[in-house]
Amino acid sequence: MSWIVLVISGLFEAVWATALGRSEGLHRLSPTIVFFVALAVSMGGLAYAMRDLPTGTAYAIWVGIGATATVVYAMATGTEAASLAKIVCIIAIVGGVIGLKLAA
């Protein structure tokens, strides 16, 4: 169960990161509310997962999922330009996350 919660928490990290970017320094109400709610869900899930998983592994996987999902979403929506180099780096992050899961 901790792994599932960790993955969901990592996805919520992407939500809060995207909302933070859209909040214009926490000055736009709707993205600011989404930011704080997603932040609470993400951190709460990470804390829950860390009860059973090693801190370093859980944190690295959480960050990897969040960073990957944030970049993929930005490229899919056209907010950020896609390039072969970025895609290769995303694949490297995903490979590292999978490696950490398998090593755990």
- pLDDT of 47-94, one tens digit each? 999 999 999 999 999 999 999 999 999 999 999 999 999 999 999 999
Return the closest-CA partner of residue 101 out of 64, 49, 61.
Answer: 61
Chain centroid to CA 28: 22
What are the extents of the domains in the chain?
Answer: 2-103
The SS3 call for residue 28 is: coil
- What pLDDT, on a 0 to 100 scale, did the predictor assign at position 71? 96
- pLDDT of 1-44, one tens digit each? 999 999 999 999 999 999 999 999 999 999 999 999 999 999 99
